Amino acid sequence: MTKARRAHVTESRLQRAIAAMQATGERIGGFEITDDGTIRVFTASSAPATPANSYDSWKGNGS
């Protein structure tokens, strides 16, 4: 059984995704990179209101 490898996301791929969103005139609210290398850029109005993971939840509580 082989272990699935995480996709490698480069800084240039992330910069291109952010530049494409900025070109639409929308304000960027955040972004997410998944294990398979998918980059999701959220507008300020559509950014997730809840933290994406348990660390963010913990950090948001001032811990």
Which residue stretches of the chain have pLDDT < 70? 1-4, 47-52, 60-63
User: Quick count: other Cβ atoms within 10 Å of Cβ 13?
Assistant: 14
Tell me what pLDDT residue 20 has: 93
**CA pair distance 31, 20, nearest whole angstrom:** 13
The model's pTM: 0.58
Tell me what pLDDT residue 50 has: 65
- Residue (of 60, 38, 40) closest to 51 by Cα position: 60
Tell me what pLDDT residue 24 has: 92
Tell me what pLDDT residue 13 has: 93
Tell me what pLDDT residue 19 has: 93
